[in-house]
Structure 1
Amino acid sequence: MTFNTKGTALITGASSGIGRTVDVLRADLTDKADLAAVEQRLADDASITLLVNNAGMSLRGSLLDSTTDEIEQLLSVNVTAPTRLAAAAGKAFAARGTGAIINIASVLGLISEGFEGAYNGTKAHLLTVSRWLGVQLGPKGVYVQAVLPAATRTEIWERSGKDIDTFPAEVVMGVDDLVDAALVGFDRREAVTIPPLADGTLWAAYDEARIAMQPGFNNGTPAPRYREAVVA
């Protein structure tokens, strides 16, 4: 799939959902050999200027309802594969002085208490990796964007045994609308794009509060509030 006529986009999970495209490199991202082949393609093919980490899955039940194999597969697809590919793309693009990485995370990466638990954690991981890569690669000509969809009408729901039609219609976004919004954020060079969030100042305030806490972590002794015994 050509991107802005200047290069080629490598999109994982491109056979369905958010990542539909026309040029297929067949790979099972849970297979180490296949994953290594995709990494090598990113390293060797200078025509690739964009990586879209779109492939993802969710559990059929919650973290507590799932088998060890199901949890391991979730981590392979949602954490190991996008992290390795983002690293491979980052190295290759930085060496060429140009390129972009789009990581499809989720608003659930900001929500600890709901949904199935483990899925949220995988998307929080991808958001963190995206922010770190953006800081590291920006000065080298590489742009990194994390996209945080909410409920989107894709095949992931059916594959995980969930019915998207049980959601109110007004909270479910179509794939085309999501992609269009993500590309607006891309053109604006946003570090984080949240298509369903109408009030962008809420994200800005959240991010500012997160950053404001960081100096308080540099403390070799417990904070005063943890030095006093609680009286029952």
Structure 2
Amino acid sequence: MTNFPRGTALVTGASSGIGALYADKLARRGYDLILVARSQDSLTRVAKEIAQATGRTVKTVRADLGQRNDLLKVERILRSDPTITILVNNAGVGAVEPLLMSDVEAMERMIAVNVTALTRLVYAVAPSFVAREHGTIVNMASALGIAPEILNGVYGATKAFVIALTLSLQKELAEKNIRIQAVLPGAVETPFWEASGGSLDRLPDQIVMKAEDAVDAALAGLDMGELMTLPSLPNIDDWDAYEAARQKLMPNRSRNVPAPRYRTPALAS
């Protein structure tokens, strides 16, 4: 990130937790801010604290990204503000109950924020970044995106979507000088967990990361040029092996005949 122009960072879900920490740390790196979240009171408090501590310009936009009119308002800002150089797609809705214990309406609302809103914000900002030949898009995924069988499968599926979209964006935009990153944290000590219906008290301390440590790791991963940053992964070679296994499937992903194991003789009648 240090090789790219500063400017304005638009951070969604910025009223608390990871989003507020991203905002603070980006301001300390020299970015002005546009903070987006549902709670104006919390946004105002965070903005005031960051502006006083850093001297940066901090604007707030109250928006519920699950509501179309609010989402369109943020899209218009991304399309029209030429100072924006980084989008942090952090806003998200969580769930921990298994599928059969979850309300489908709540799952649809989660998809609206985690998938639809994130996608539309990418679509809103990417053309401007390409036209200016610089910009950074950070998408908040989750370690559950590669382990959707743990906890709520719909939540894991939304984060798997974020990972897949990020991979596609990297292929499409990297040569246009656009930086792309997905962040895949595990359990993090923020209000998000309780808001999702869970309790950090039920988890072993050794698997729960402090939010500031997670954001510091994510920013370090961005500085190092990582496409996928797993803050708790000790050895990046493990991710590289995971990706190499995925790439090994590619030559055989589409052929004109079934694989030999499916060409079985008809069962005797």
Q: Under TM normalisation by the shorter chain, which class is it?
A: over 0.9
What is the TM-score of this pair, normalised by structure 2?
A: 0.81
Deviation at 1:5, TM superposition (A): 7.7
Q: Which runs of 5+ in 2 are unaligned?
A: 24-46, 48-58
In the alignment, which residue of structure 2 is the partner of 1:126?
162
In the alignment, which residue of structure 2 is the partner of 1:104?
140
Which of these residues, 213, 216, 225, is aligned with residue 252 of structure 2?
216
In the alignment, which residue of structure 2 is the partner of 1:18?
18
Asked if the contact 2:189–2:210 (Cα under 8 Å) also holds between the matched residues in 1, the reply is yes
**1:154 is aligned to 2:176:** no
What is the TM-score of this pair, normalised by structure 1?
A: 0.94
Distance 1:99 1:5, change over 3 A: closer
- How many residue pairs are counted as aligned between the two chains? 229
Structure 1 runs, 4 residues or longer, greater than 6 Å off:
none
Asked if the contact 2:5–2:85 (Cα under 8 Å) also holds between the matched residues in 1, the reply is no
Deviation at 1:99, TM superposition (A): 0.5
Distance in structure 1 (CA, Å) of the matches to 2:182 and 2:109:
22
Deviation at 1:26, TM superposition (A): 0.9
Distance in structure 2 (CA, Å) of the matches to 1:155 and 1:81:
21
Distance in structure 1 (CA, Å) of the matches to 2:253 and 2:171:
20
In the alignment, which residue of structure 2 is the partner of 1:206?
242
Distance in structure 2 (CA, Å) of the matches to 1:229 and 1:78:
46
Distance in structure 1 (CA, Å) of the matches to 2:142 and 2:96:
17
Which of these residues, 143, 150, 173, is aligned with residue 137 of structure 1?
173
**1:35 is aligned to 2:71:** yes
- 3-state DSSP class of the match of 1:181? helix
Which amino acid is the alignment partner of residue 197 of structure 2?
G
Larger Rg: 2
Which amino acid is the alignment partner of residue 26 of structure 1?
R
**1:6 is aligned to 2:6:** yes
In the alignment, which residue of structure 1 is the partner of 2:110?
74
Asked if the contact 2:181–2:227 (Cα under 8 Å) also holds between the matched residues in 1, the reply is yes
Give the alignment's Cα RMSD to 1 decimal.
Answer: 1.7
Q: Which runs of 5+ in 1 are unaligned?
A: none
Distance 1:206 1:60, change over 3 A: closer
Deviation at 1:227, TM superposition (A): 1.1
Deviations 1:124-161 (A, max 9, x none): 00011011111111111111101100110111111122
Deviations 1:39-92 (A, max 9, x none): 110110011100000011112522222222101101011110111111211112
Distance in structure 2 (CA, Å) of the matches to 1:160 and 1:137:
33
Distance in structure 1 (CA, Å) of the matches to 2:263 and 2:125:
47
Distance 1:201 1:5, change over 3 A: closer
Distance in structure 1 (CA, Å) of the matches to 2:260 and 2:206:
47
Distance in structure 2 (CA, Å) of the matches to 1:111 and 1:43:
34
- 3-state DSSP class of the match of 2:180? strand
Distance in structure 2 (CA, Å) of the matches to 1:62 and 1:9:
35
Distance in structure 2 (CA, Å) of the matches to 1:45 and 1:97:
15
**Percent pairwise identity:** 44
- 3-state DSSP class of the match of 2:217? helix
Please give the residue correspondences for 1:164-183 in structure 2 after superposition, counting only pairs within 5 Å. 164-183=200-219
Distance in structure 2 (CA, Å) of the matches to 1:46 and 1:176:
29
Distance in structure 1 (CA, Å) of the matches to 2:109 and 2:164:
21
Deviation at 1:112, TM superposition (A): 3.1
Which amino acid is the alignment partner of residue 72 of structure 2?
A
